[in-house]
Amino acid sequence: MTEKPLTHKQALAAVIQALDGSWDTEPAVLALRVAGYRPADGEAAGKEARRNLRELADDGLIVRPEPDQAVYRLE
């Protein structure tokens, strides 16, 4: 049986849970690239990373302690 690959969101969640710490766009982009995401350019990579970070925050996995900064951490 072939396993389905992780979505970008699932891959990012797994890395965040494994490594903990603070997460913003740059480390999220790196984590997505390690997971196999190949963006068209840096702007697309940043947008995908930020979207996934927001979704993980909406899901309650991570929090954004400072509302004026786009830096997240585990809940």
Q: Give kind and range of the element (H or E) at residue 65.
A: none
For the stretch 20-49, pLDDT in tens is: 999 999 999 999 999 999 999 999 999 999
Give 23's strand partners. 72
The pLDDT, as a whole number, for residue 35 is 92
Q: Kindly report the pTM of this predicted structure.
A: 0.91
Dihedral, 71, 14, 74, 66 alpha carbons, nearest 10: 10
Give the distance, in angstroms, between the CA of residue 51 and the centroid of all CA atoms in the same chain: 8
Q: Is the pLDDT of residue 2 over 80?
A: no
In the chain the domains, ranked by start, together with CATH numbers, are 8-74 (1.10.10)
Which whole number is the average pLDDT over 3-8?
89
SS3 content of the chain, % helix, strand, coil (to 5): 50, 10, 40
